[in-house]
Amino acid sequence: MYAKIVLDISSIVWDENHFNSNKDVYYVLKSEVFLFLNAFESCNKLKLVAREELLNEIRFSFPYSICSDHSMFDFQRLVLQFLATKRNVSYNAINSTINSVPNICYSYFSADLKTEINYLITEVHNSSDNHIFCTFHICWQNNKKLKTINKITKEYHTVIHEEGKYTIERFYLDKIRNVFEHYKGKHDRLKGTRIHQGKIKSPLSCFDGKNKSIPQKLLDTATQYKDDFFNYDDTNGTYVRFKNHKDNLYHGYDEIINNVPSKIRKEFHK
């Protein structure tokens, strides 16, 4: 399961006048943004909600001169790498009068960037998906959750990145990540599907009954097909199918190749 995140654009598009009067604040912000970038890089199930036009406007408005004048080349390099990510989720451009509370569209933003943020707010408000707002202590002093308001009010989980505090990666691992939970009554390491005490039992070769790290790793990197997730267990030479049984909990078992969708077999070249 992947998580859709919305980034506070003010964290990487800066007001030059405000920077000149508050340089120390921005050095702290830089370190907070690094926390987010590291979390995003290390968790490949995080997806950024941003169409290419928004990413281009952020690139255009990025504080290149500030980075050059104040030797923030590390910040510039990492942010531009992040903006080049292919892990973004696109959407249609729809105008609306939907507002965010607090307002995440700042007066110093360019007209085109404001337009793109309006499209972003509209997408988040109208979507039935859950979105997580990622911001930073320096930018988000009120510690309240982001809201969008039209005829109805929607509230979004807001992760405020700060040194030594909770990051979006931790939130994902704790709340959203698919978690392996062994189904002891149906699966073990014995080869072959069979009947045991009146119930069908099938193997999960990668699980020794104690250490969950191997099946969890297979689940973390699995490919979704409809409601299930599939991966290939190279050690045991078998596909593994993971099925949801409660909330974000999944059990797994070896799957015979004839029951694996052709799309999955092609992906793994098997």
Supply the pLDDT for residue 198. 53
| 169 and 224 fall within a common domain | no
| 239 and 113 fall within a common domain | no
Supply the pLDDT for residue 4. 95
Assess whether the previous peptide bond of 215 is cis (omega < 30° from 0). no
| 27 and 160 fall within a common domain | yes
Supply the pLDDT for residue 240. 96
Supply the pLDDT for residue 26. 97
Tell me, rounded to whole angstroms, the distance of Cα 184 from its chain centroid: 31
Q: Are 256 and 269 in contact (CB under 8 A)?
A: no
* Domain range for 146: 3-176
Last residue of a domain, one of 176, 207, 226: 176
- Residue tagged 């691992």 (tokens): 173
| 31 and 95 fall within a common domain | yes
Supply the pLDDT for residue 45. 82
Last residue of a domain, one of 113, 144, 176: 176
Q: Are 128 and 106 in contact (CB under 8 A)?
A: no
Contacts of 36 (CB under 8 A, 6+ apart): 7, 11, 134, 136, 161, 167, 168
- Residue tagged 């599939």 (tokens): 230
The whole model's pTM is what?
Answer: 0.77
| 142 and 11 fall within a common domain | yes
| 82 and 139 fall within a common domain | yes
> How large is the angle between the packed helices 52-61 and 111-126, nearest 10 degrees?
140
| 92 and 136 fall within a common domain | yes
Domain count, the chain: 2
Last residue of a domain, one of 144, 176, 208: 176
| 135 and 249 fall within a common domain | no
| 38 and 105 fall within a common domain | yes
Supply the pLDDT for residue 202. 75
| 143 and 170 fall within a common domain | yes
| 32 and 140 fall within a common domain | yes
Structure tokens at 239: 């596909």
| 119 and 9 fall within a common domain | yes
Supply the pLDDT for residue 190. 57
DSSP per-residue string spanning the chain = --EEEEE-GGGTS--HHHHHH-HHHHHHHHHHHHHHHHHHHH-TTEEEE--HHHHHHHHHHS-HHHHHHTT-HHHHHHHHHHHT-S-EE---------EEES--S-TTS-HHHHHHHHHHHHHHHH-SS-EEEEEETTT-TT-PPEEEESSSEEEEEEEEE-TTS--HHHHIIIIIS-EE---TTTEESSSS-EEETTEEEEE-TT--SS--HHHHHHHHT-EEETTEEEEEETTTTEEEEEEEEETTEEEEEEE-GGGS-HHHHHHHT-
pLDDT tens per residue, the chain (270 residues)?
678 999 999 999 999 999 999 999 999 999 999 999 999 998 888 999 999 999 999 999 999 999 999 999 999 999 999 999 889 999 999 999 999 999 999 999 999 999 999 999 999 999 999 999 999 999 997 768 999 999 899 999 999 999 989 999 999 888 888 999 987 756 555 555 645 555 556 789 999 888 899 999 999 889 989 999 999 999 999 999 999 998 889 999 999 899 999 999 999 887
Closest C-alpha among 181, 178, 225, 228 to residue 207: 181
